[in-house]
Amino acid sequence: MADREYDVIIVGGGPAGLSAGIYAARARLKSLLIEKAVVGGAIINTGTVENYPGFPLGVTGLELTELMNEQAKKFGLEMATAEVTALELRDDRKVLKTSEGDFLAKAVIVASGTERAKLGVPGEEQFIGRGVGFCAVCDACFYRDKVVAVVGGGNAAINEALELAKFATRVIVIHRRNELRATKIIQERAFAMPNMEFMWNTVVEAIEGDQMVNKIQVRNVVTGEKSVLVVSGIFVATGSKPNTEFLKGQVPLNEAGAVIVNERMETGVAGVLAAGDVRVNSIRQVISAAGDGATAAIFAEKYIVDKFKH
């Protein structure tokens, strides 16, 4: 196991994890970042990030995280592609059980992010990839000259709708409330789009189709009226849930599954920290995730020095 022992292991390769990796590796800690999919996290699906300091003309989420990744590797951060399935606490060491075997660390930084919540309605699972989508940046081009629906009212949903509006003839935003939760500047752009319309106080009850989605059943939550919309696709952006299944029973989580941390990003378990969207009260912005990652790495180093290097 000697080649699998590290000072710090970071779980998750989004902005929080990459920032933690930059700080940990730069502190000359033997550091490993484990990512189950593509390094960059959910932000790689964002077309343009306009509010990250230092990029006055904006930068794509993919470009931003590629630069972070390059920077982290320059300082010596190691990378592994694996899915973390469990965290075990053994005396002074933490064991991360993964699809590629076990890894040991003195400190662990959890930056595993969140995943999109699903509607849980009939037809949703059946048609994922066949008209049910979760990433407009990835799939919008397939809906050129078609009608498509987006479910949700926050920033994620409206950004999805704006991306789809570049291709689709008609984008229907379905929201269970009577006003959007997205920031004002994003709302202004959406309301200015001639091919975008809004169904307020409405929920999706079923998704139907043959080989592909061709209609959805919706219900007005105020009047109870039901109707059918003929669409070629539906994108779901109704919220997210923390990726913390592997932490259950080991680290304190809140009722939503988010990791409970203090201002140092420390959990209730010594040497286990959390950063980014996975933690409680995250504002879910790239800049705050990066700050969380830096904070977590600094206090992970302090933990290691105090605990192991007397």
As annotated, the active-site residues are 135, 138-139
Quote the CA–CA distance of 107 and 297 in Å, as a whole number: 9
Length of the chain: 310
Residue 249's SS3 state is: coil
Beta-carbon-side half-sphere exposure of residue 291 (alpha carbons within 13 Å): 11
Find all residues with CB under 8 Å of 140, minimum gap 6, and list them. 163, 164, 166, 167, 168
Quote the CA–CA distance of 201 and 171 in Å, as a whole number: 17
Helices (H), 27-154: 61-74, 136-139
**Best CA proximity match to 111, nearest among 30, 206, 31, 184:** 31
CA angle 79, 85, 87 (to 5 degrees): 85
